[in-house]
């Protein structure tokens, strides 16, 4: 949720930290702060609000140090304020800490420290960390680097919850200490300089070489070295990984907003996701998976587990998997799955979807399945993310960095990859091949069909203007179209703050139709020729009651009195969400713009939800 950044090198840390924080701001934007190591010791500047407010602080100009840490906050414990902003210092102001995650037992730790004479100045859970480090460090006889690491280790052993922590201490003026558990953090390796970040794009302009820290691994960064220590504080080596993301993919370029850029990138991101996995008249290639026919025949149930948009992609995938592979597939919200004691055996295959690969609930749900002996596959967009590292197998969507909080290109790439996965299983199982071949061809046609949809942008923008002052918008669809209705509704509420709900069209009469009144807007999605007449009937019922209608369809609807019909290219209904969602993404985008909102950073949200 929060963003963390760190720098050690020969250059002044401040501009690099600010640059990183601006790029990380989509992770949280309630307040921001940085601390640098100066000749006189740690100096810290923080402010409420966005990173720009921090830059405006006069005191920031005194920061000259070449080593520093920074943080942009998404408030959990304590309202957004200067006191609650990070970095937090211990009472002696010798240790500075920034933290991403949640310390669940902070009250108990606060009491322990208070009883030992420590004072607290914020409402945060984080403030216990620098004070505990200080407590343990003072108890140590020695004052060497390993003694300080011992103090960090003792602190970490007391913490319950999740954390990615960066630490500066006045006794180690050229070094920065880091440790993580269940919260993202990468180390960027430069030449005579090293970086920390909570994700790759924030430091991609400085380096493409990364180390990925596992849970409860410690690192000590100096300008020309990164040392790794395990939980016993034994040194070990780590392989550096080169990330070949194009820097321009994390820049806005000529677009006003990342979201619009990412919507228009979908032909490319889908092409990259398909890659060499699908080609006409050849078997699907997924080299990352080692799955046999015997194993698939033994699978009696697939669980797809995810949150938010990724869960909506999973709902579509359930239908594809069940149809092509004939394996019962269930879809679960990760935060429910992890606590509902799901029936998992060695015959269960669990697929986890997460753009960021850092969503706390999805990671916990994956760990649960592993404990119970199921095979796990992670689908993520971020190389080396925590989810990927936990799973038995990892498949990447290759959509490129997604910066806007509202997910667009990741969603379509997830469905593409899941459809490919379903066909891969179906081929291994020896299922009916004509339909498989046909869907492969349709998958390959997706990028050019999305390009065609962009021709409707102006039509969608005009309708967005008409309905931008609405209070409620309802989305309806049947079958696979219902899964898109859910995603369209989520997009709209996230970035326009208009209340919206999605209903399976057949459910309208069972209650929600009571909400329909003159002038209300209904968005109808109709791409399945078998169901289109049914949904038309449901739409007629709301039109009769005075609703405005925005329709997305690839069918010839005949002479019905709908207000706006966006025609999209024809495609198999199994993958139609990849096309039908595009007008809904654009609708949400233009409504948000019309209302003058910050599309990329909607209120109260953060890009990756790394806390429960
Ligand atoms: C998408 O628009 C949302 N911001 C959100 O629902 C998101 O999809 C969800 O938090 C899951 O994130 P993940 O894919 O990174 O796990």
Q: Please spell the DSSP secondary structure of 414-441, one letter per residue.
A: HHHHHHHHHHHHHHHHT--HHHHHHHHH
Q: How many whole angstroms separate alpha carbon 273 and alpha carbon 391?
A: 20
Pocket test for ligand 1, best of 407, 598, 603 (most atoms within 8 A of CB): 407
Give the residue with greater pLDDT, 184 vs 454.
Answer: 454
Q: Please write the tens of the pLDDT for every residue from 482-530.
A: 999 999 999 999 999 999 999 999 998 899 888 988 889 999 999 999 9
The secondary element (H helix, E strand) that includes residue 44 is: strand 41-48
Query: Is 57 in the active site?
Result: no
Exposure string (b/e) for 403-412, b if CB count within 10 Å is 16 or more? bbbbbbbbbb
**CA dihedral sign of residues 125, 127, 130, 134:** negative
Predicted confidence (pLDDT) per residue in 166-201, tens digit:
999 999 999 999 999 988 899 999 999 999 998 888
DSSP state of 32: E
In degrees to the nearest 10, what's the CA dihedral of 188, 190, 194, 200? -20
- Residue ranges per structural domain of the chain: 3-247, 257-431, 455-594
Other Cβ atoms within 10 Å of 237 Cβ, number? 8
Please give the pLDDT value at position 26.
75
User: Which residue's CA lies nearest to atom 7 of ligand 1?
Assistant: 308
| pLDDT of the residue at 50 | 87
pLDDT band with cut points at 50, 70 and 90 for residue 458: very high
Q: Which atom of ligand 1 is nearest to the CA of 607?
A: 4
Could you tell me the pLDDT band of residue 265, with boundaries at 50, 70 and 90?
Answer: very high
Give whichever of 200-214, 234-248, 382-396, 410-424 has the largest mean pLDDT. 410-424
Specify whether the CB–CB gap between 582 and 489 falls below 8 A: no
CA atoms within 13 A on the CB side of 301: 13
The answer to whether the beta carbons of residues 362 and 334 sit under 8 Å apart is yes
Where does the pLDDT of residue 327 fall: very low under 50, low under 70, confident under 90, or very high at 90 and above? very high
Residue 502 bridge partners (DSSP): 475
Q: What is the mean pLDDT of residues 30-56?
A: 93
In this prediction, residue 3 carries a pLDDT of 87
Q: Which SS3 state, helix, strand or coil, does residue 42 take?
A: strand
pLDDT per position as a tens digit, 404-438: 999 999 999 999 999 999 999 999 999 878 999 99
Confidence check: pLDDT of 250 > 80: no
Confidence at residue 316, expressed as pLDDT on a 0 to 100 scale = 97
C-alpha to C-alpha distances, 59 to 3, 33, 93, 242, 308, nearest whole angstrom? 22, 12, 17, 37, 40
What atom in ligand 1 is closest to the CA of residue 406? 2
H or E stretch covering 83: none
Task: Return the CATH fold of 257-431.
Answer: Rossmann fold (3.40.50)
* Rounded Cα distance, 324 and 431, in Å: 7
Cis preceding linkage at 547, omega within 30: no
The rounded Å distance from CA 587 to ligand 1 centre is 19
Average predicted confidence (pLDDT) for the chain: 93
Q: How far apart are CA 51 and CA 34, in angstroms?
A: 10
- Asked whether this chain's domains 257-431 and 455-594 adopt the same fold, the reply is yes
Ligand 1 pocket, residue 599 CB under 6 Å: no
- pLDDT tier at 302, thresholds 50, 70, 90: very high
Going by alpha carbons, the residue nearest to atom 10 of ligand 1 is 308
Which pLDDT band holds residue 591 (cuts at 50, 70, 90)?
very high
Could you read off the pLDDT of 514-524 as tens digits, one per residue? 898 888 999 99
User: Which of 112-121, 274-283, 581-590 shows the lowest mean pLDDT across its residues?
Assistant: 274-283
Can you tell me the mean pLDDT for 547-552? 94
pLDDT at 9 over 80: yes
For 372-430, give the DSSP string: TT-EEEEEESSTT-HHHHHSSEEEE-------SSS-SHHHHHHHHHHHHHHHHHHHHHT
Superfamily of domain 3-247: Aminohydrolase, N-terminal nucleophile (Ntn) domain (3.60.20.10)
Check if 359 has its Cβ closer than 6 Å to any atom of ligand 1: yes
Q: Specify whether the CB–CB gap between 425 and 284 falls below 8 A.
A: no
- C-alpha 411 to ligand 1 mean position (Å): 9
**607 catalytic residue (yes or no):** yes
Query: Which ligand 1 atom is nearest residue 605's CA?
Result: 4
Angle at 95 (CA atoms; ends 90, 99), nearest 5 degrees: 85
Question: Of these residues, 2, 44, 307, 325, which one is catalytic?
Answer: 2
Alpha carbon 486 to chain centroid distance?
Answer: 18
Residue range 67-82: mean pLDDT, rounded = 87
Q: What is the pLDDT of residue 582?
A: 98
- Please state the pTM of the whole predicted model: 0.83
- E strand intervals along 95-246: 95-103, 161-169, 176-181, 186-189, 194-197, 209-212, 218-222, 225-229, 235-236, 241-242
- Residue 1 reports pLDDT greater than 80: no
Fold for the domain defined by 455-594: Rossmann fold (3.40.50)
């Amino acid at each position: 949720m929060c963003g963390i950044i760190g720098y050690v090198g020969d250059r002044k840390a401040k501009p690099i930290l600010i640059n990183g924080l601006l790029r990380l701001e989509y992770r949280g934007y309630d307040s921001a702060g940085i601390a640098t190591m100066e000749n006189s010791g740690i100096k810290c500047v923080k402010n409420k609000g966005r990173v720009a407010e921090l830059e405006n602080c006069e005191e920031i100009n005194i920061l000259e140090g070449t080593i520093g840490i920074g943080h942009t906050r998404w408030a959990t414990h304590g309202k957004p304020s200067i006191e609650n902003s990070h970095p937090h210092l211990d009472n002696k102001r010798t240790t500075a800490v920034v933290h991403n995650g949640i310390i669940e037992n902070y009250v108990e730790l606060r009491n322990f420290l208070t009883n030992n004479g420590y004072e607290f100045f914020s409402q945060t859970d984080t403030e216990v960390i620098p004070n505990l480090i200080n407590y343990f460090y003072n108890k140590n006889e020695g004052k060497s680097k390993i003694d300080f690491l011992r103090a960090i280790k003792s602190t970490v052993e007391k913490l319950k919850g999740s954390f990615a922590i960066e630490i500066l201490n006045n006794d180690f003026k050229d070094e920065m200490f880091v440790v993580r558990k269940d919260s993202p953090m990468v180390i960027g390796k430069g030449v005579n300089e090293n970086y920390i970040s909570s994700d790759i794009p924030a430091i991609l302009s400085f380096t493409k070489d990364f180390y990925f820290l596992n849970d409860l691994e410690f690192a000590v960064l100096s300008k020309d070295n990164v040392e790794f220590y395990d939980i016993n504080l034994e040194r070990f080596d780590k392989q550096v990984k080169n990330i070949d993301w194009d820097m321009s993919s994390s820049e806005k370029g000529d677009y006003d907003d990342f979201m619009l850029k990412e919507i228009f990138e979908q032909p490319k991101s889908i092409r990259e996701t398909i890659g060499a996995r699908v080609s006409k008249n050849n078997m699907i290639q997924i080299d990352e998976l080692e799955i046999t026919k015997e194993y698939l025949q033994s699978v009696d149930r697939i669980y797809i587990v995810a949150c938010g948009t990724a869960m909506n992609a999973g709902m579509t995938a359930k239908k594809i998997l069940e149809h092509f592979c004939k394996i019962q597939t269930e879809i679960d919200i990760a935060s429910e799955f992890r606590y509902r004691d799901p029936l998992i055996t060695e015959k269960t295959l669990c697929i986890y979807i997460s753009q960021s690969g850092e969503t706390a609930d999805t990671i916990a749900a994956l760990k649960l399945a592993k404990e119970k002996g199921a095979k796990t596959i992670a689908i993520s967009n971020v190389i080396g993310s925590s989810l990927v590292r936990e799973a038995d197998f990892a498949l990447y969507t290759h959509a490129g960095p997604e910066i806007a909080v509202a997910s667009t290109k990741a969603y379509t790439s997830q469905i593409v990859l899941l459809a490919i996965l379903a066909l891969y299983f179906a081929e291994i199982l020896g299922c009916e091949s004509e339909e498989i071949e046909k869907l492969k061809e349709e998958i390959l046609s997706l990028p050019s069909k999305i390009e065609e949809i962009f021709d409707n942008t102006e039509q969608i923008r005009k309708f967005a203007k008409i309905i931008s002052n609405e209070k409620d918008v309802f989305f309806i669809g049947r079958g696979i179209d219902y899964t898109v209705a859910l995603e369209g509704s989520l997009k709209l509420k996230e970035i326009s703050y208009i209340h919206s709900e999605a209903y399976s069209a057949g459910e309208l009469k069972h209650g929600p139709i009571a909400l329909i009144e003159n002038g209300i807007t209904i968005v109808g999605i109709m791409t399945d020729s078998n169901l289109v007449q049914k949904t038309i009937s449901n739409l007629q019922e709301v039109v009769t009651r005075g609703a405005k209608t925005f329709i997305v369809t690839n069918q010839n609807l005949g002479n019905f009195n709908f207000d706006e019909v966006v025609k999209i290219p024809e495609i198999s209904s199994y993958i139609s969400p990849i096309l039908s969602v595009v007008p809904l993404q654009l609708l949400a985008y233009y409504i948000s713009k019309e209302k003058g909102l910050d599309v990329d950073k909607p209120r109260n949200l953060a890009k990756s939800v790394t806390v429960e």
